[in-house]
Structure formats: C-alpha cells, structure tokens
Structure 1
Amino acid sequence: MSQQERVMDVRDVPALHKWITLSLQHLFAMFGSTILVPFLTGLSPAVALVSSGLGTLAYLLITKGRIPAYLGSSFAFITPIIVATNVSGIEGAMIGSFFAGIVYGIVALMIKALGLNWIVKILPPIVVGPVIMVIGLGLASTAVDMATYDADGNYSITYLTVALITLGVTIIATIFFRGFMSIIPILFGIVTGYIVALTQGIVDTSGIKAEWNEITSASSIGEFFGAVFEMPEFVIPFVTYAPMEVFSLQLLWILVPVAFVTIAEHIGDQMVLSKVVGNNFLQQPGLHRSIAGDGVATIIASMLGGPPNTTYGENIGVLAITRVFSVFVVGGAAVIAIFFGFIGIVTEVISAIPSAVMGGVSILLFGIIASSGLRMMVDNEVDLGEKRNLIIASVILVIGIGGATIQLGDNLEITGMSLAALIGVILNQVLPGQDKGQGNGNMFQKKDELNKDGSAA
C-alpha cells in the first residue's frame, strides 16, 4: 500500500475540528453493538460506554499507540454473563469476567515466549468455527422473544412490526448504502426502529422527560452541570460489593473458557487489520501486546461493572473505507464514549430503546455471528467429509445450542458454550488426524501475506 492511499497514517494527529468529527464518526460505527450487549445482559449502558472508552485507551497505551483499534462490548460473553448473573448476580459476572481478562494476560505471555503454534493446536478452525456458531445460534431465541413479546410477556403484533421494520432498514443499509454509511447499518436500524416505536407508543419516555425538565429548569451554571452530568451505576469490588462473598469456581467455568474463543477471533481481526493498514501488527508491536491490551480492557470493564471488551469488525470496516488510520482519532472516540457515559439524558435515551428494536437488529447480528463461524471453516477449507471433523462440529453444536450441563458437586456447573468448547478441544486432541482439523492451515498464518518489512504483499 502506498502512503498516498492513506488519508491519515497511524501516528498522524488531525486538526482539532477534523479530530472531533472523525472521532464521532468512529464512535457511531461502534455505538450500536456496544450498547446492545449491556441491553441484553442487564448491565448499565453508561458503564459500558465508560469501560469501552477506558479499555480502548488502555489498549492504545499497551500497544504503544501503533494499532488503531476501538474496543467494544463482546457478543461472545452475552450468554455467559446472563448465566453468571443468575448464579451470583452482576457482581458474580464481573468476577468471572475479571478472570477471563487474566487468561488473556497468560496467553499473551505464552505467545511472547512460545509463539503461535501451541494455540493453533488447541484452537483449530474445526473447534473455533462451531463454537462461534453456538454463540450466535444460542442467542437466536433471545432475539425472537425480544422481537415478538412485550414487557409483560404477551405476544404483540406491534412489537413484531417494529422489529421487522428495524430489521428491514438494517438489511437495506447493509446492502445498498455506500461509503461510511454502509458501516453503521446497526445505528440506522436502531434509530429508525426507535422513531417507529415512538409513533406506536411503546417507548417509555418518562426518564428522558425527567432529565430534560431537570436540565431546562436549572437556574445556575452549577445546577445545569449537575443536571447534565450523572454518575453511572458502577459495580466496583471492595466498594459496592465484597468479591469473596460471591466468588465460586462455577463462575470461572461459565466465563473463562469464552476467553479462548474471543482470543482466536482477536487474532483473526489483527490479521485483517494488518492487511487493511499495511503494517504487520502481529510482529510490531506484537500479537502478545494486542492480546494483553484486550485482557486489560476486559479487566477494567470487570472492575467497573461493564461487559468484557474486544476488538470489532466494525472498526476494521471504518478504517478500510475512510483510510483514516490515526490512533488519535480512535483515542478521541474513546474519550467521547467516556464523556457520553456521564451524561444522564444520553443514558436515558439508550435505556428507553424498546426490546422490539433491539430484537430486530439482534436477529441479523446473531445470525451473522453464527454465519461467521461457518465462514471460518469455509475460509480455512475444513473438510466436513472427514468423519473426525464432522463429529467434532456436530457434538459442539448440539451440546452448545442444546444447553447441556455437567454438575460437579453443589457449587460447580459447566454449561452450554463453555462445555461445548471444552469437549471440542478434548475431541480434537484425542481423535486421530489433528492436522485435518486445521483445514488449509491459514487460520493463524495470514501474516505471511505481508512482507517482512510489514508492508502489504
């Protein structure tokens, strides 16, 4: 890639007015997905925005300001967070997320010392692909329920209509829009669905009105700022709860295994990002740093009460279209996200989004997640004609989607996706022909498409 193709290079600092505009643009691309996860899991959208912003800044620092990546709420953790919350509340989910972040750190150290071969053997495409499919398909019923049932659990044709309109607009934006507009179809869908839901009277605007009345009735600068800014509902260990009172091994089994799946996804993202930017990020600043950055971002989120963070495909899409690779633009988006998290009326607007709207976009998003797992196997030319590959994929899918569990004593249970991933790894290790599960062997080898100097081949 020639330098002329870049509107801004990785370390370029834009002029202030461009900086704000480009950072807002980047944040909007991440916005829909980032707020969907807390919406589904019962976490605070304001905390999710703050933790994603802080996590992104930490990521940029750890990667020496060399990788332009915005980190948002991870979809892979939706079901595990819901399960963990049912077991030990939001506090328990945060403890599990904390240890998932620790796993990132351990893997980063091992990659630094040993390279990638060991993780290739543990997580080949035949294991990772079906597990990613489980993530999407396991959430299918959640999306459909949100799209068809009202707050009281009754079937609603109004909800279904709003959901279908939201879904339709999102699909149209994805297929027919061009340029940057094609990167924010989720935002288009949510905004359109929100407006339609308002006309149908299914949006509770009481919180928004209360915030607006408080702002407009302020009689001094101090009252105005007090009305605009609001402290998010942070969940902080040793401040709002005692970690040891809710800790259990079950929480680790629910959340920690997910980290290995998201690590595999992260590696794939880094390869694509390297290709788009024209710098080999796996070598400089190094994959170990980017994985460590993800881990620290997840730990930060767990210390505040936000969902685990990860790199996003939307981020890569924005970079590919705008050709703006500046980490300062990404950092600016992170700062704005933190700022939004402390504005009460923004939080109320997000919280008022009807479940029908989120259900509409979720039908597409969760299907895309499942399809991306299938695509991973197709791209890596995994042969499902091989009996061992067919067995591994089949067992993972049925155990994960079926919600199978293993009860070990009164306080330890391995469920759903975690169990499916664990059994998939074991089957891949014990069944003969491990090399067949690698497909064409390119899952972690696409860095070879880059020249030794880091430029695109």
Structure 2
Amino acid sequence: MSRLDMVMDVRDVPQKSKWFMLSLQHLFAMFGATILVPFLTGLPPAVALISSGSGTLAYLFITRGRIPAYLGSSFAFIAPIGAAISDSGVPGAMVGSFFAGLVYGVLALLIGFFGLDWLMKILPPIVVGPVIIVIGLGLAPTAIGMAMNDASGTYSGTHFLVAIVTLAVTVIGSLFFKGFFGLIPILIGIVTGYLFALTQGIVDTSALSVTWSNIAGAETVGAFLGAIFVIPEFVIPFKDYNPLDVFSWSIFWLMVPVATVTIAEHIGDQMVLSKVVGRNFIKEPGLHRSILGDGVATLIASVLGGPPNTTYGENIGVLAITRVFSVFVIGGAAVLAITFGFVGIISDLISSIPTAVMGGVSILLFGIIASSGLRMLVDNQVDLGNNRNLIVASVILVIGIGGALVRFNVFGQNVEIQGMALAAITGVLLNLVLPGKETGYGNGNMFKTEEHIEEEQE
C-alpha cells in the first residue's frame, strides 16, 4: 500500500486544535457497541467505558505506542458472562474474565518463544469460523426477546415497532451513509431509536430528571461538580469480594475457551490494521506484544467490574477513512472514554435506553457476528465439500447452538462446560484428531503460517 496519502503517521502528535475532534470520532465509533455489551449482561455501562479506555492506554503502552488500535467490550463474552453472573454473580464473571486475560498472557509468551505456527495449527479457519457463527446465532434469541417484549417479558407491539425503526435506521446508515457517518450507524440507530421511543412513551427518564435537577439546582461549584461527576459501580476484588471464595472450575471452563476465538479474531484485526496503515504489526512490534496488550486490557476490566476487551473493527474503519494513524489520537479517545465513565448524566442516559432499542440494534449486530464467521470460511476458501471439514463445522454448530453440555467432577467441584465453550473445545480436538488437517486452512493465507503472514504483509 502506498503511504503517500497518509495524513498523520503512527507517532505523529496532532495539532491541539484538531486533537479533540479526531479523538471524539473514535469515541463515537466504539460507543454504540461498547455500551451494548454491559447493557445485555447487566454490568454498569460507565465501568465498561472506563475499563475500555484504561485497557486501550495499557495496550498502547505495551505495544510501545506503535499500533493505533482501540479496545472495546467484546461481544464473544456476552453469553459466558451472562451465564457466569446467573451462577455466581458479577464477581464470578470477573474471576472468569481474569483467567481469560491470563490466557492471552500465556499465549503471548509462547508466541514470543516459539513463533506463531503452532497456534495456527490449533485454530484454523474451519474451527474459528463455525465458532464465531455459534457466538452470533447463540445470541439471536436474546436480541429477539429484547426487541419484542416489555420489561415483564410480555409481547409488546409498541416495543417491537421501536425495535424495527431502530433496526431500519441502522441498516440504512450502514448502506447509504458516507464518510464518518458511515462508520457510526450503530450510534445513529440507537439515538434515532431512543428519540422514537420517547414519542411512544416507553423511556424511563426519572433518573435523568433527578440528575439534571441536581445539576440545575447546584448553588456552589462543589455542588455542581458533585452533581456531574460520580463514582461508577466498580466491583473490585478483595474489596467487594474474595476471588478465592468465588472461583469454581465451571466458571473457568465457561470463560477461558472463548479466549481462543477472540485471539483468532485479534490476529485477523492485526492483519487488517497492518494493511490499512502500511506496516507489518505482526512482525514489529510483534503479535506477542499486541496479544499481551489485549490480555492486560481484559485483566484491567476484570478488576474493575467491566466486560473483557478486544480490538475494535469500527475504529480500524475510522483509521481507513481518515488516514490519521496517530496513537495519540487513539490515546485521546481512551481518555475521553474514561472521563465519560465518571459523568453521571451520561450513565443515566445510557441506562434509560429502552431494551427495544438495543434489541433492534442487536438483531443486526448478532447477525453480522454470525456472518463474519461464514465470511472467514469463504475468504480462506475452505472446502465444505470435503467430508472432513463438513464434519468439523457441523459438530461445532450443533453443539454450540444446541446448548450441549458436559458435567464432571474436579477436586470435589462439579464442573460444567456448555454451549460455545464446549463447541470450541470440541472443534479444536476434532481438527487435531481427524486426518487431512491441511484442508482446514483453506486456500487463503490468513491462518496458515507465520511465513505466510509475513509474505502477505510485505
């Protein structure tokens, strides 16, 4: 790729007059998807924003300020977090997220010592693609339920209408909006759906009204600042709970296998980002550093009470359009996200969004997740006419979407592996055991070997 059209290089510092707006673009790009994850899992959106910004700053530090990537809430962990919260509360989900983050760290060390080839053999497209499809389709009932039902779980035509309007605007924005607006159709859809929901009388603005009254009625600077800035509902280990009391092998096996999928997605994002910027980030500063940064971001989220983080394709899109690759712009977006997390009225505004609005957006987003798994198979030209590949994909899909589970006992604790986690483990084992492993890579270069990756980038 020619870099003559670059507006700002990776280490360039933007002019102060433009810095804020450039960073604000990245904040808008990640905002819709990042707040959707805590909205669906019951975690505080403000904490998700703060952990997202903090994780991004840690990522930039670990990668030596050489990779302009923003990290937001991971969709892959929505179902596991929900299951962990149902089983052991928010502390249980955070312990599981912590161990998922540790997986990144272990893999980063192994990649640093042994290279990337061994990981590609474990996670070829024939395994990763179907598991991503499972992630999207497994969340489909959640999206439909949010779109059709009111707070009591009863079908509501009004809620469904709001969801359809939200979905329609998001789809139109995705297809027809150009430039920066074409990068934030999710945010535009949420805002439009919210405004329409106001006309239908299904928005609870009581918390917003109280906060606004406190701001308007503040008589001193201290009271004014106190009304604007609030401390989010952090869930901190050894302060709010003892991780040793919460840990169970069921939570471990519920969360950790998902990391294998998000790591494969991370590799794909790094390759796309390398093409956009015109640098080989797989080689320098190295995939081991970017994976470690992603893992540390998830660890930070787990000790704050937020959802696990991952690199965001939306923000890669902003880089591709603006040609501004500065890590200082990304860092500015991270600082803005942290600041927004401490602004009470923003938290109240997010919390007041009706489930129907988020349901309408989720119909598209969860479908896109499933379709991206299919696209991975297509892009890598995986032959599903081959019985071996067909078997691996079919077993993964049915186990994951069907909700199969396995129960056993470890050290006196009952362990349960189910859904996506079981599908991922089964897919990895099947791929390693069945003959003809080379067919699982397809004819694309994305997941073959480190040498193939370097050839693709150079």
1:144 corresponds to 2:144:
yes
Secondary structure of 2:414's partner?
Answer: coil
Note if contact 1:382-1:438 (Cα within 8 Å) is conserved in structure 2. yes
What is aligned with 1:454? none
Matched residues in 1 for 2:391 and 2:437: separation?
Answer: 13
Counterpart secondary structure, 1:211: helix
State the SS of the aligned residue for 2:417: strand
Post-superposition shift, 1:147?
A: 0.2
Q: 2:439 aligns with which of 436, 440, 443?
A: 436
Q: Which residue of 2 aligns with 1:279?
A: 279
Amino acid at match of 2:456: E
- Number of the residue aligned with 1:219: 219
In the other structure, the counterpart of 2:248 is 248
Q: 1:88: which partner in 2?
A: 88
Counterparts of 1:80 and 1:334, CA distance in 2: 26
Q: How many angstroms apart in 2 are the aligned matches of 1:327 and 1:253?
A: 35
Does the 8 A contact of 1:135 with 1:370 survive in 2? yes
Identical counterparts, % of pairs: 70
User: What letter matches 2:433 in structure 1?
Assistant: V
* Mapped partners of 2:167, 2:343: distance in 1: 29
CA distance in 1, matches of 2:2, 2:133: 37
**Would you say the 8 A contact 2:271–2:457 is kept in 1?**
no
Cα pair distance change 1:3/1:423, threshold 3 Å: closer
Query: For 1:43-76, what per-residue CA distance to the aligned partner results, in whole angstroms no more than 9, with x for missing partners?
Result: 0000000000000000000000000000000000
Q: Distance in 1 between matches of 2:71 and 2:338?
A: 13
Shift of the alpha carbon at 1:164?
0.4
Residues 425, 349 of structure 1: CA spacing in aligned structure 2 closer, same or farther, 3 A cutoff? same
Give the equivalent residue in structure 2 for 1:426: 429
* Secondary structure of 1:413 counterpart: strand
2:47 — aligned with what?
47
Q: CA deviation at 1:447?
A: 3.7
Distance 1:407 1:210 in 2: 48
Q: Tell me the SS of whatever aligns to 1:310.
A: strand
Paired residue secondary structure (1:408): strand
Match of 1:270, SS state, is helix
Q: Distance in 2 between matches of 1:118 and 1:159?
A: 49
Which amino acid in 2 is paired with 1:161? L
| Structure 1 residue 446: Cα displacement | 4.0
Q: What TM-score, normalized to structure 1?
A: 0.98
Amino acid at match of 1:317: G
Q: Deviations over 1:162-193 (max 9, x none)?
A: 00000000000000011111100000100000
CA contact (8 A) 1:271 1:447 kept: no
> C-alpha displacement at 1:238, in angstroms?
0.3
Q: What's the CA shift string for 1:69-101, capped at 9, x where partnerless?
A: 000000000000001111110100000000000
Q: Distance in 2 between matches of 1:322 and 1:113?
A: 36
Q: Which amino acid aligns with 1:228?
A: I
* Counterpart position of 1:448: 455
1:416 to 405, 416, 419: 419
Cα shift at 1:234? 0.2
2:371 — aligned with what? Answer: 371
Q: Where do residues 47-86 of structure 1 align in structure 2 (5 Å cutoff)?
A: 47-86=47-86
Question: Matched residue of 1:407: which SS?
Answer: strand
Of 434-443 and 190-199, the range deviating more from structure 2: 434-443
Match in the other structure for 1:183: 183
Give the AA of the match of 1:108. A
Letter matched to residue 196 of structure 2: V
Root mean square deviation of aligned Cα? 0.8
2:134 corresponds in structure 1 to 134
User: Number of residues paired by the alignment?
Assistant: 451
Q: What whole-Å deviation, never above 9, does each CA across 1:407-450 have from its counterpart, x for those lacking one?
A: 11362100100000011111111111011111115123344223
- Superimposed CA distance per residue, residues 183-212 of structure 1 (whole angstroms, 9 cap, x where no aligned partner): 000001000000000110100000000000
Residue number in structure 2 paired with 1:323: 323
Give the conservation status (yes or no) of the 8 Å contact 2:48–2:307.
yes
Residue 245 of structure 1 and its aligned partner are, at CA, apart by 1.1
Report Cα offsets for 1:338-364 as digits up to 9, x if no partner: 000000000000011000000000000
Other structure's SS at 2:233 match: coil
Q: What amino acid sits opposite 1:423 in the alignment? A: T
Distance 2:13 2:136 in 1: 38
Q: CA deviation at 1:3?
A: 4.0
What are the equivalent positions in structure 2 for 1:8-19 lying under 5 Å apart?
Answer: 8-19=8-19
Distance 1:262 1:154 in 2: 35
Where do 5+ consecutive residues of structure 2 fail to align? none
Supply the distance in 2 between the matched residues of 1:447 and 1:274 (Cα, whole angstroms): 11
Provide the rounded CA distance (Å) in 2 between the counterparts of 1:273 and 1:132: 20
Structure 1 Cα separation of the partners of residues 303 and 263 of structure 2: 20
Separation in 2, partners of 1:117, 1:449? 15
Contact 2:379 2:444 in 1 (8 A): no
Q: Deviations over 1:348-385 (max 9, x none)?
A: 00011000000000000000000000000111111001
Q: Is the 8 A contact 1:49 1:338 kept in 2?
A: yes
Q: Which residue of 2 is the match for residue 455 of structure 1?
A: none
Q: Secondary structure at the match of 1:5?
A: coil
TM-score by length of 2: 0.97
Q: In 2, Cα distance between the equivalents of 1:24 and 1:36?
A: 19
Match in the other structure for 1:239: 239
Give 1:246 shift: 0.8
1:2 positional shift: 3.9
Quote the offset at 1:287 in angstroms.
Answer: 0.4
**5+ long unaligned stretches in structure 1:** 452-457
